[in-house]
Amino acid sequence: MIPLSYFLIAWLVLIGIYAVMSFLSLLQLYRFGIAGPGTYTSSVVFLLVSGAVIVGSLIYFLTVDWSLALNLGGIIPAAPQIPL
């Protein structure tokens, strides 16, 4: 059985990677992009949508019982025992 908390840890790691990549993308956009209202508008829309998705995920994750475990016994049957 796999504890659900492993999935939470994996999600946090992926969110960290996403934050670093987003920062680098915005940095490149501001450094090499055309300075104008379109640049700032697209950045604000990107940050708002990203923030909304992360906040929505956090609200959902607050409702999950992380003490449960994922049982794959019905999907992946145990290897058959060969009598000796």
- Residue 20 falls within a domain, yes or no? yes
Please, are residues 66 and 4 in contact by the beta-carbon 8 Å criterion? yes
With beta carbons less than 8 A apart as the criterion, state whether 66 and 5 touch: yes
Range from 1-5, 52-56, 77-81 carrying the lowest mean pLDDT: 77-81
Whole-model pTM above 0.85? no
Contacts of 76 (CB under 8 A, 6+ apart): none
Per residue in 62-83, pLDDT tens?
888 888 887 776 666 665 566 6
Residue 47, domain extent: 2-62
Of residues 46 and 2, more confidence is placed in: 46
Question: For 84, which DSSP code?
Answer: -
Domain-located, residue 26: yes
Judge whether 80 lies within some domain. Answer: no
Q: Could you give the C-alpha distances from 24 to 4, 20, 28, 30, 56, in angstroms and in order?
A: 31, 6, 6, 10, 23
Residue 33 predicted with pLDDT over 80? no
> Is residue 6, in this structure, part of any structural domain at all?
yes
Give the total number of structural domains in the chain: 1
76 inside domain: no
